[in-house]
Structure 1
């Protein structure tokens, strides 16, 4: 974001002091906010350690140090009231709360342990050969046409071709996963037009996912059946197992797709970074990690105060929602040097795109493996990559990515 744009947004911000903190008259979920999200992120981060957004009467923070503290203090900032803007204990939600994402210790601990085992480093290594073979095959198919939409042909097509199959999703059901997941994330934000459209579009998808969560609907040998083995061992109920399978179907696809999209965007915009990756495909993991820091695909996550507390001198009552603007925190100049620059030489450790602490994304190793397979396959096959038109943003309350990312490549 250019400094002129930041000054423009600052001039638009109506800031008053409320409860000892700035209160901002801006809307991250407006058309302007969705089209130029980093300007809004910067306004939230620059205003103070914690700010109140008047339109929604919700606390936001865009500061890295504050977000990290909130993540780690899970006893004060609970997840069981929902990870969006709404307190799911007080308001009706479109689905039952997740047993892992919207749960706190001690209940959360058991489900976290099970999912960590299902998605362990050993399991990810076992799947890597198959995932890499599919990445190589897809890249060969797509780049042969020289010009294509990288948002759909690569970033979307690849995760949808590997992860659902690994879970045991029926092939004919893959088409329902994106509408279902879109509703899952839209529902975390305001009940606006984006949410209403997603709700209408996902009616058939919701019915399918409810069916696909069941043990007898899953393909034998997949990760879904591995989850159900814990039912046979008496550790969890049949319903719990289905809810854990649902986590794969609702939270494990879109974020990976959009993370890969941002990596492809950065590499297409910056020939120097692409040259580094092309000459050393082993940098694929680094290219993905820096893309997540540079543009967090899941920019917000909410917590709720379980008790009265204080953040940098601002008093919060029990039951108040605090939304962490991870996209802003990942560009906090107090934490990162030249944060708006995509830089493959950067040490990205500590970025918050996957969260941190006991609620850090349990599927992050799988997402990293998928992205590494695809980006390394592309680097081995392609000499140059460049944008041929302006990317078209995908509008979402709770995700960032693209509907279209037109590129042109030359082959090695």
Structure 2
């Protein structure tokens, strides 16, 4: 009986010793597991360039959540903001890093730039996990100082020319678009000037006749905005346009506006709740007499909008509600709602819902008379409608290996 007790004691002690040896010391072998939640990031390239962490397929399996947002800068580039959020054993260890790209950089240069920023953000967690990596620094400054004087005075110009011709034996489509954009963005002011010209031509051979349908749209628009503090802005929107589809020969407008953002503008990439109101004059001349027997008219209208956007660890959501009306007849109005949500429900299960709905009672430019079947099918003429809607729904579920850092592009195309 005594011998059996001694044997049991020795076996228990041996088991406890082996268990203690198999347990890692505090802080050791805590692999950094990263869940990437950043639009526009080349995750495959990141995996190839930085193999010191595990890339988790779901947030639940990660101990670092990389939440990223992208905003356009005044130079035509982008501000990549990366929020490193510590989870589980890294809870409370969070950082925010920025990478600014310029409008003249190639996609490859931008990709290398934000990848370096992500590497720098992850090194902290590797250090806390006591995972030592071979980091090499060449001593060169990664960030260049801004020049004392900008010869362009913050102005950026963008010219786009696009043409497309496609067809078959009995049909042909020709599109030609040109756009010129100039912007100047500073902390205090924002200037935007845009010119667009779109020309579309469709040709059909029915065997008996040739049918040619053309659509032309031209517009020049300007926007000047003055910042007032961290939450408010005032501005002026004006422009002139012409649209054959809308039966508009000449359309010109100017609208003073005011906006208030519940959150500081510096947080707009993560969250914003904006209230804006436009009030002004709109003059019109029509190609043909409208259903209201107008060939031209002077209009005054207002527009009120609420926009909410948020991006958090659970996903993202947005909602925009706008209402506009003409003052000569308050029954001539429209109400539009755009909304969407992307939610990580559970592990690899994600839900994506979006849609928009509009009540339309303000199409004042509708051409008088019945539209022919040809005009309807060839989209030559705008039609009357009381509403417009669109609904998008998506559900995705992934399961299997939580970590797979292998990159194998063979025969991928």
TM-score, with normalisation over the residues of structure 2? 0.19
- Which structure's CA Rg is the greater one? 2
Q: Which has the higher strand share?
A: 2
Which structure carries more relative contact order (alpha carbon 8 Å, separation 6+)? 1
TM-score (norm 1): 0.19
Larger helix share, 1 or 2: 1
